Amino acid sequence: MANQILLVNGPNLNLLGVREPTLYGTQTLQDVEDVVSHAAATHGFVVRAVQSNHEGVLIDAIHAAREDCTGIVINPGGLTHTSVVLRDALSGVALPVAEVHISDVRARESFRHFSYVADVAAIHVIGEGVAGYATAVDRLCALITGTSAD
């Protein structure tokens, strides 16, 4: 298996930098992908990125990851709180998962406090902005390689 990580960004994350910048900041999805690629490269990993507003596209990408990826970094967006099938896809591929949220979902509306992904993710990075993606990658690579995430 290659040293490849799948980066999954769910619905509406294509609007980063435009959608509610006071909540999500001004960095774009391309900035997220650049942050993740740079962080992964420092550990000898490459990244395949997917963003979709369609649940099935994300599930298909997760299923495909079992063939050539060693881990998954995911920001499921609103699917965090609604999608059992996304959770089951992550569980089904048996790869280590890092769940990322740009905002602190625990400090927002009550419906955002529950995550279907939480129990299948080994790593949770919440409320650290776009920089949280790098933290997630560092921790995921450490988990995969059995090294420290210093």
Active-site residues, by number, are 24, 101
**CB-based contacts of 102: which residues, under 8 Å, 6+ apart?**
16, 24, 25, 75, 127, 128, 129, 130, 132
75 is in an annotated binding site: yes
48 is in an annotated binding site: no
102 is in an annotated binding site: yes
The Cα 127–Cα 121 span in angstroms is 16
106 is in an annotated binding site: no
23 to each of 18, 32, 46, 104, how far by Cα in Å?
Answer: 11, 16, 29, 9
Amino acid at 9: N
112 is in an annotated binding site: yes
38 is in an annotated binding site: no
46 to each of 19, 108, 131, how far by Cα in Å?
Answer: 28, 33, 18
Residues at the binding site are 75, 81, 88, 102-103, 112
Residues at the binding site for substrate are 75, 81, 88, 102-103, 112
